[in-house]
Structure 1
Amino acid sequence: MPVKIKSVERRSPAQKAGIAAGETLHKINGNKIVDVLDYRFYMTDEHLDVEVEDISGKLRHIHITKQEYDDLGLDFETYLMDRQHTCKNKCVFCFVDQMPPNMRDTLYVKDDDSRMSFLFGNYITLTNLTDEDIDRIIKMRISPINVSVHSTNPELRVTLMKNPNAAASLRYLKRLAEHDIKINTQLVLCPQLNDGKELERSITDLAELFPAVESIACVPVGITKYRDGLFHLRPYTKAEAQQVIDTIHEYSDRFLKEHGDRIVYPADEFFLLAQMPIPNEEYYGEFDQLENGVGLLAMLKQEFAEALADAHDSGKKRSVTIATGVAAGEFIKDLAAQAQSKYKQLKCQVEVIQNDYFGENITVAGLITGTDLIAQLKGKNLGEEVLITSAMLRHEQDKFLDDFTIEQVEQALGVKLTVVDNDGYELLGSILNEDLWADA
């Protein structure tokens, strides 16, 4: 359907051509524009025939010449220029179904939109796509696509996702691969459901689509305390996590010899659950799945070591606290100890926060809330400031998942909170209160 233009950027090709806010965009070079992908794809040409409908309802054609790939300069009511496609699955491990009540509405939205996958790296299941959608992805070369597979066994995938279309939609993986659309995949693993022999099957099937399938991330299921009435699941034990890693390594070592690429990787959380060392940077190749928690700690560890080697001890006193989750607690404590070993006037304590908000089985730092920070840190000597990972704030800038703001937590604790990205130089710089990037 046509899309209404909200505003036109000043001095843009569209404004110079006389296109105005309030008009409706119909076509570009004869192609119907229904969403952001159409707009981005068709407006890149140097010569454009833009069909718009003015406020009176009259259609007009406007010829525009601009630099190839330059933006036309139109803004729309919503970023997607269309409604967001939501998930039609009922996955037995769905984290949204395990959310506490009375949180903000946006946290209960189940996204399964291929456009969000391309634009923001979101994972999609393919279950709500049609053959026409796949044709468009191929035509527009929308790549890479991030796909939640979970299992390549059609019957098991239906069981896991509670959607009859979960089986048939697997065929789209092969079709995308045949047209060299790059795919990153993930398997959310549940004990005794899709691990073991089923994991081996999924790894084998997906690896057959290499190099189109660039990576397979294996992520442990997240279990909150809000699972009343849901499918019975449990978290991985230490021994089970070790077995998953052993299985993955059996295949990834072979793939490395055969293809020069491991292809399949355990998420960092599996190494932490198994209490096994985090591999070195070289293990992760191109770091295809950093956003999925694969290789984040290895990169942080390497960068922190480099920053530590480059930095000089100014001799000034400094006292700071790092707040992190249970899973990465020992890992962060080791980094803090390395810093204190070099900087004799530094006191860097690590406070491990148990997740009471979502439940003790949730151990990652990214799901720590303001509620738990306040409850577990209030009244303690925290030094000059508390460092937290930016993952706790997601895309909300200064809000935690429970809607506490940075300012509110600071007021409750009586200390400054400093948000740190997953970067070793930035972490050490924040610990020392120095800009190490200036010297890097």
Structure 2
Amino acid sequence: MRKTDTTIKYVEPDSIAFEAGIEAGDKLIKINGHDFHDILEYRYLTAEYEVTLEILKKDGSTEVITVENDYEDLGIEFAEGLIDEAQSCHNKCIFCFIDQLPKGMRETVYFKDDDTRLSFLQGNYVTLTNMSDEEIDRLIKMRVSPINVSVHATEPELRQMLLGNRFAGKCYSIMQKFAENGICMNCQIVLCPEINDGEHLKRTLYDLAALYPNVNSVSVVPVGLTRYREGLYQIKPFTKESSADTIEFVEKIQQDFLERLGTRLVYLSDEFYINAGVEIPQSDTYEGFPQLENGVGLIASMKEEFDSAIKFIKKKRRSRYVSVATGEISYDFIRGLADRIQNECGGVKIDVYAVKNDFFGGGVSVSGLVTGGDIIRQLKGIIKTDTLIIPHSMLRDNDNIFLDDVTVAEVEEALNVTIIPTYNDGYEFIEKILNEELDFGG
């Protein structure tokens, strides 16, 4: 039995629901006479010109309201975002990052979701291993698209081993059914040296290419390994040499896809290029950056924006001294941008600090996993400015808190600084550094 909660938490002012007299605390019981069980069914049933809503009011009375919404959102938020509970992951992936977390972190960090609704609504990746035939048909009926799929391998036996799930081998047949019914998919491959790389990777990529254009993009990211792997499957980290080999291997496949399909289709994460000491590809090779959320093309995207934005810096002398904290892997890139700003702007000085990830250890060096505690320990007594700019990706769940539960306020107090988060955006980076808006008026 699915546990649902259709209590309305918030009604947007001046929205269709607001004008109809719907209030926070009311419950939505039926839509057009139909029961609904989750947020997808809610969206599907309300995507009509005229919608009839059965409302259980806070005082216990029932109202039936018909609204004309012209296919607009009604302006309702539910107490439970999905209306029912998020589906958890039943896999035991040999590379699972959550299994490599230290003990003592907040409970929500350890939750493994594997929910196609979160894939559609928030861009999360799902493995398709816990889906019934009925659920597959439901998604097709509602035209839920795109779906982001964690593929890792298309060979059934290999995928079963990678995911530790005897049902994992059905993934490609499910994807074929989605493709046949016009559902678009973005795919992810976590690459593990000597396990699913080489000819296994080639098989996976060509299988996925056979579903193009319904498979819209494929990212390949290196396995992330922390120091908390005791008792877990032994996986080798990527080295400079194996990263370079992977780049060469995938670039040949990209070229073949480009000639046959008109798209490269598959894209490597920035980590491969940095680890190999190979120059990041130009922005146009990422074909619109369909996999930015997977760390694919972040540097090329930001550089492209930065190259454009720096032309709009106002010509004047300034007095500005700030610091930037970043992960080890992106230090050289951020230092390069900082140098260009300093050269362009007299009176501007920028210190850039590469924060080593002692919290996770292992080979973890990306900015998004830097913790507040590591920033405090490594910059205390060293930082000379009263402003510290950090990537917004260091903060979790849109809150002012780092992954280790240290808050922004605690870091500010410990270092006697004001922290300014910035997104991976070349324009915003310059504006935060200079503390001023760019002059687009020429």
TM-score bracket, normalised by the shorter chain, equals over 0.9
TM-superposition CA deviations, 1:41-83 (whole Å, max 9, x none): 111212223345568988x672503122233444432011001
Alpha-carbon shift at residue 236 of structure 1 (Å) = 0.2
Residue 244 of structure 1 corresponds to which residue in structure 2?
246
Given the alignment of the two structures, is residue 228 of structure 1 paired with residue 230 of structure 2, yes or no?
yes
Indicate whether 1:84 and 2:75 are aligned: no
Question: Match of 1:123, as an amino acid?
Answer: Y
Q: Output the amino acid matched with 1:36.
A: I
Q: Which residue of 1 aligns with 2:30?
A: 27
Contact 2:217 2:266 in 1 (8 A): yes
Residue in structure 1 matching 2:209, options 203, 207, 210: 207
CA distance in structure 2 between the partners assigned to 1:12 and 1:65 by the alignment: 11
Task: Give the aligned partner of residue 411 of structure 1.
Answer: 413
Query: Quick check: 1:323 aligned with 2:325?
Result: yes
C-alpha distance in 2 between matches for 1:21 and 1:301: 45
Give distance in 1, aligned partners of 2:428 and 2:16.
Answer: 40
Is the Cα contact below 8 Å between 1:3 and 1:25 reproduced in 2? no
CA-CA distance at 1:219 after TM superposition: 0.4
Q: Trace 1:14-53 onto structure 2 (pairs within 5 A).
A: 14=17, 24-52=27-55
Match of 2:80, SS state, is coil
* CA shift in 2, pair 1:19/1:436, >3 Å: closer
What corresponds to 1:196 in structure 2? 198
User: Structure 1 residue 142 and structure 2 residue 148: aligned?
Assistant: no
Distance 2:411 2:309 in 1: 29
1:263-306 C-alpha deviation (Å, 9 max, x unpaired)? 00101111111111111110110211111111111010111111
What is the Cα deviation at residue 123 of structure 1?
A: 0.4
CA contact (8 A) 2:152 2:191 kept: yes
Residue type of the alignment partner of 2:49: E
Q: Please show how residues 39-438 of structure 1 align to structure 2 within 5 Å.
A: 39-52=42-55, 62-436=64-438
Contact kept, 8 Å, 2:314 with 2:438, in 1: the verdict is: no
Rounded Cα–Cα distance in structure 2 between residues aligned with 1:337 and 1:180: 48
Q: Is the 8 A contact 2:52 2:67 kept in 1?
A: no
Deviation at 1:20, TM superposition (A): 6.3
Query: Structure 1 counterpart of 2:367, which letter?
Result: A
5+ residue gaps in structure 2?
none
Give the distance between the partners of 2:30 and 2:390, measured in 1 at CA.
47
Distance 1:61 1:310, change over 3 A: closer
* Secondary structure class of the residue paired with 1:254: helix
- Greater mean alpha carbon deviation, residues 299-308 or residues 380-389: 380-389
Distance 1:253 1:382, change over 3 A: farther
Cα shift readout 1:62-110 (whole Å, capped 9, x = no counterpart): 2503122233444432011001101000000001001111001000000
CA distance in 2, matches of 1:428, 1:195: 39
Question: CA 1:55–1:346 in 2, change beyond 3 Å: closer, same or farther?
Answer: closer
* Cα distance, 1:61–1:138 mapped onto 2, change above 3 Å: farther
CA shift in 2, pair 1:127/1:314, >3 Å: same
Greater shift in the superposed pair: 21-30 or 78-87: 21-30
2:5 and 2:80 in contact (8 A); partners too: no
SS of the residue corresponding to residue 386 of structure 1 reads: strand
Q: Deviations over 1:323-360 (max 9, x none)?
A: 11111111112212222222242222211111000004
User: 1:12, 1:73 within 8 Å by CA — same for their partners in 2?
Assistant: yes
Structure 2 distance, partners of 1:89, 1:438, is: 50
- SS of the counterpart of 1:170? helix
429-438 vs 228-237, greater mean Cα deviation: 429-438
The residue type equivalent to 1:416 in the other structure is T
Aligned residues: 439
Change (3 A) 1:343 1:14: closer
The structure-2 alpha-carbon separation of the partners of 1:14 and 1:300, relative to structure 1 and needing over 3 Å to count, comes to: closer
Measure how far apart 1:321 and its partner are: 1.6
Letter in 1 for 2:226: T
Read off the aligned partner of 2:101 and give its amino acid letter.
M
Tell me which moved more, 3-12 or 195-204: 3-12
Cα pair 1:186 1:218 within 8 Å, conserved: yes
> In the aligned structure 1, how far is the partner of 2:348 from the partner of 2:387?
13
Contact 1:386/1:415, CA 8 A, preserved across alignment = yes
Mark the CA change 1:159 to 1:439 in structure 2 (over 3 Å): closer, same or farther.
Answer: farther
TM-score normalised according to structure 2 size: 0.94
2:283–2:301: 8 Å Cα contact kept in structure 1? yes
What secondary structure is seen at the aligned counterpart in 2 of 1:137?
helix
Question: Does the 8 Å CA contact 1:268/1:295 hold for their aligned counterparts?
Answer: yes
> In 1, are the aligned partners of 2:93 and 2:162 still within 8 Å (CA)?
yes
Using a 3 Å threshold, how does the CA distance of structure 1 residues 12 and 318 change in structure 2: closer, same or farther? closer
